[in-house]
């Protein structure tokens, strides 16, 4: 447990292990964990349900006004609800992942969720996982990390995750999706995926999860003991 209440951000590409690492880091230091990518997936899912094209910014902006996303802690799990519906599992499909990458490039969506995310950070003592947490949403965050790993390793992790859920999918498709999403996220005009200038870069290609978390805990405690 840290004495001071900090805002910590962990950015990085899909499949780098951000979710697992962020949850473990938050648990180790007694902080709340927020998966901001889930919010974009939630918008992607709910606008898809309404039959709205991922490119129709005006329609999506209008839909955002009536979408009610909120996190709830159930046991040790952080669940995402849309109204009274638990959509935590539905947003994890490959289809929603690709749609979320497109939706997240829309200014209306980013403006809508920026307000929500900053409100979540007002209480501090929180670890935010995402793609632009340290560059756009919380540029003044106390500690920033950029977690990365080789493309093939990230694709393998994502493939095994999807297979464990029972998805009928092949590795080549997962790898293609990873490459496409990397390209989309890194080259979008609005809030592209990139490390913050003052972020601590962590390459998890050949590190175990515990080793990654140990390194982050050491950084956090050394900066703000």
Q: Look up the pTM and report it.
A: 0.82
Q: What average pLDDT does the structure give for the chain?
A: 91
pLDDT above 70 for 72: yes
Task: State which H helix or E strand residue 201 sits in.
Answer: strand 200-203
The pLDDT assigned to 1 comes to 53
Q: Is the residue at 221 inside a domain?
A: no
Contact status, residue 23 vs residue 71, Cβ threshold 8 Å: no
Domain hosting 90: range is: 7-211
CATH number where 125 lies = 3.40.50.300
Could you tell me whether strands 143-148 and 126-130 are parallel, antiparallel, or unpaired per DSSP bridges? unpaired
Mean pLDDT within 183-195: 88
Q: How far apart are the first and last CA of the chain?
A: 10
Question: Which region among 28-32, 54-58, 175-179, 187-191 has the lowest average model confidence (pLDDT)?
Answer: 187-191
Q: Is the residue at 224 inside a domain?
A: no
For residue 184, what are its two tokens?
């989309």
Other beta carbons less than 10 A from residue 99's beta carbon: 21
Decide which of 211 and 15 is more confident: 211
Q: Is the residue at 220 inside a domain?
A: no
Burial class (CB in 10 A: 0-12, 13-18, 19+), 90: middle
Q: Is the residue at 61 inside a domain?
A: yes
| Model confidence band, residue 75 (pLDDT cutoffs 50, 70, 90) | confident
pLDDT in tens, 126-153: 999 998 999 999 999 999 999 999 999 9
Q: Is the residue at 91 inside a domain?
A: yes
- The strand pairing partners of 32, in sequence order, are 126
The structural domain count of the chain equals 1
Give, to the nearest 10 degrees, the angle between helix 209-223 and helix 18-29. Answer: 50
Q: Is the residue at 120 inside a domain?
A: yes
Q: Is the residue at 222 inside a domain?
A: no
Q: Is the residue at 1 inside a domain?
A: no
| Model confidence band, residue 3 (pLDDT cutoffs 50, 70, 90) | low
Nearest Cα neighbor of 2 from 132, 121, 196, 142 is: 142
pLDDT above 90 for 74: no
Mean pLDDT within 17-25: 93
| Model confidence band, residue 37 (pLDDT cutoffs 50, 70, 90) | confident
């Amino acid at each position: 447990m840290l004495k001071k209440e900090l805002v910590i951000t962990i950015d990085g590409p899909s499949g780098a292990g951000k979710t697992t690492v962020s949850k473990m880091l938050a648990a180790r230091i007694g902080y709340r964990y927020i998966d901001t990518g889930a919010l974009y997936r939630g918008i992607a899912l709910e606008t898809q349900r309404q039959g709205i094209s991922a490119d129709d910014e005006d329609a999506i902006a209008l839909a955002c006004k009536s979408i009610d996303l909120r996190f709830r802690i159930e046991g040790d799990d952080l669940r995402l609800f849309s109204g009274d519906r638990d959509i935590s599992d539905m947003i994890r499909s490959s289809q929603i992942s690709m749609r979320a990458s497109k939706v997240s490039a829309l200014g209306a969506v980013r403006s809508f969720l920026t307000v929500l995310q900053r409100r979540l950070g007002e209480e501090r003592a929180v670890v935010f996982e995402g793609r632009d947490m340290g560059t756009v949403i919380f540029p003044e965050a106390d500690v920033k990390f950029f977690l990365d790993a080789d493309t093939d390793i990230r694709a393998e992790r994502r493939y095994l995750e999807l297979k464990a859920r029972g998805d009928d999918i092949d590795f080549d498709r997962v790898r293609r999706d990873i490459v496409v999403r990397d390209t989309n996220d890194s080259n979008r005009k609005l809030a592209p995926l990139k490390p913050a200038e003052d972020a601590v870069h962590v390459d998890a290609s050949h590190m175990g999860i515990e080793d990654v978390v140990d390194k982050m805990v050491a950084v956090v405690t050394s900066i703000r003991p």
